[in-house]
Amino acid sequence: MAEGSQSRLSLATVVLLAGFVGLFIAQIFTIKSLRSTESKLAAVQADQSKVREAIDSQIAELREAAATAAASADAQRQKALDAVRDEVDKARRQARGVAGKVKEETMKSVEDLASRVNVSESRLKQHQEAEARVVTEISSLKQAATSAQANLTDVSTEVKQVRTEVANTQGQLERTIADLKRTTGDLGVMSGLIATNSKEIDALKQLGDRNYTEFTLYKGKEPVKLADISILLKKADVKGNRYTLELRVDDRKIEKKDRFANEPVQFYVGRNRQPHELVINQVGKDQIVGYLATPKAPAARP
């Protein structure tokens, strides 16, 4: 029984060793294959570099050949004009030894030829100057195009930044408005959105549903004009966070007594169907800080 167990154990060991050997051989072949692939890739990259160098060299040779050809053509034209000018000078010298009418005709022909040479030389010079101007203009156009592209890139970047800022501002505005609450005012009418600080008041102004007027009001004996009403602060209770004031609206006096901060105080002005809303955000010593929300003026009927 023990011999059978040892035999099976030996067989398992042999199989395991054979598996390890197979894995080792496979690993060797994989490493060789990977190295071969890396060598081929390096060779391909080297070939690509050689091709690029060859193309760059050919382009440089073509440019140099074009420049040489242009210079050679100008040189040949100048050489031809110089040869004609030599012939003219020679003809002049010969004409001086000829007498009478033949001399005059010969001199006239020589002068005509000299004149044509001067015209040709002038045209050659103009052609060379025109070529130089074209090269200068092309260079200027390239610089202008590069500058315009750079400016366009800058403007595009600025536009993207502005769009991002606008999107961020819009997102902040939406989040601020979403945080605002509505409540029932002292007249039992559902109020508009109530702001509790300057940031939220700015958000309501941008929303544009109503007109908003911020103010700081001090306790006094005479009412203070605010939009289309007048307000007189009678009492400011800092500990209780309450206040009492008197509104003067349409020749009427309306007292709002012991109102709390951030509580919408409502009242009607004229024939408006929507009430005005007065919201006090801070109650200090003999002063209050808040805003007045008034309805938008109705559109004129045609």
Contacts of 276 (CB under 8 A, 6+ apart): 229, 266, 267, 268, 269, 292, 293, 294, 295
CA 89 to each of CA 12, 33, 80, 107: distance values in angstroms, whole numbers, following the listed order: 114, 83, 14, 11
- Residue 178 falls within a domain, yes or no? no
Residues 72 and 135 in one domain: yes
Which pairing describes strands 265-267 and 242-249: parallel, antiparallel, or unpaired? unpaired
Backbone angles phi, psi at 56, to 5 degrees: -60, -40
- Residue 243 falls within a domain, yes or no? yes
DSSP 268: -
- Residue 51 falls within a domain, yes or no? yes
Spatial separation of the C-alpha atoms in residues 141 and 132, rounded to whole Å: 14
Q: Where is pLDDT greater, at 162 or 76?
A: 76
CA 10 to each of CA 2, 13, 18, 194: distance values in angstroms, whole numbers, following the listed order: 12, 5, 12, 88
Spatial separation of the C-alpha atoms in residues 64 and 56, rounded to whole Å: 12
Report whether pLDDT(196) > 80.
yes
Are 281 and 263 contacting, i.e. CB atoms less than 8 angstroms apart? no
Residues 130 and 205 in one domain: no
Task: Tell which residue, 229, 238, 234, 240, has the closest CA to residue 278.
Answer: 229
Are 253 and 232 contacting, i.e. CB atoms less than 8 angstroms apart? no
Contacts of 91 (CB under 8 A, 6+ apart): 106, 109, 110, 113
- Residue 124 falls within a domain, yes or no? yes
Residues 45 and 147 in one domain: yes
Residues 138 and 43 in one domain: yes
Report whether pLDDT(164) > 80.
no
Report whether pLDDT(261) > 70.
yes
Residues 147 and 204 in one domain: no
Mean pLDDT, rounded, for 3-27:
60
| pLDDT for position 268 | 93
Phi-psi region of 262 (alpha: psi -120 to 50; beta: other; left: phi over 0): left
- Residue that the structure tokens 């190295």 belong to: 35
| pLDDT for position 267 | 94
Residues 44 and 148 in one domain: yes
Contacts 24+ apart (CB under 8 A), 88-97: 88/113, 88/114, 88/117
- Residue 23 falls within a domain, yes or no? no
- Residue 192 falls within a domain, yes or no? no
| pLDDT for position 234 | 95
- Look at residues 152, 176, 209 and tell me which one is the last residue of a structural domain: 152
| pLDDT for position 179 | 54
Reported as a single tens digit per residue, the pLDDT across 97-131 is 655 555 566 667 667 767 777 777 777 777 778 77
Q: Where is pLDDT greater, at 152 or 234?
A: 234
Report whether pLDDT(255) > 90.
yes
Mean pLDDT across the chain, nearest whole number? 76
Amino acid of residue 195: A
Residues 39 and 144 in one domain: yes
Q: Where is pLDDT greater, at 150 or 3?
A: 150
Confidence band (pLDDT; 50, 70, 90) for 302? very low
Residues 133 and 235 in one domain: no
Task: Tell which residue, 113, 63, 62, has the closest CA to residue 90.
Answer: 113
- Residue 17 falls within a domain, yes or no? no
Tell me the CB-side half-sphere exposure of residue 229, using CA atoms within 13 A.
25
- Look at residues 152, 169, 188 and tell me which one is the last residue of a structural domain: 152
- Look at residues 115, 135, 152 and tell me which one is the last residue of a structural domain: 152
Residues 203 and 141 in one domain: no
Q: Containing domain of residue 252, as a range?
A: 198-295
- Residue 81 falls within a domain, yes or no? yes
Number of domains composing the chain: 2
Report whether pLDDT(188) > 60.
yes
Residues 122 and 204 in one domain: no
Report whether pLDDT(177) > 60.
no
Are 287 and 217 contacting, i.e. CB atoms less than 8 angstroms apart? yes
| pLDDT for position 130 | 77
Residues 119 and 204 in one domain: no
Residues 140 and 203 in one domain: no
Mean pLDDT, rounded, for 8-14:
61
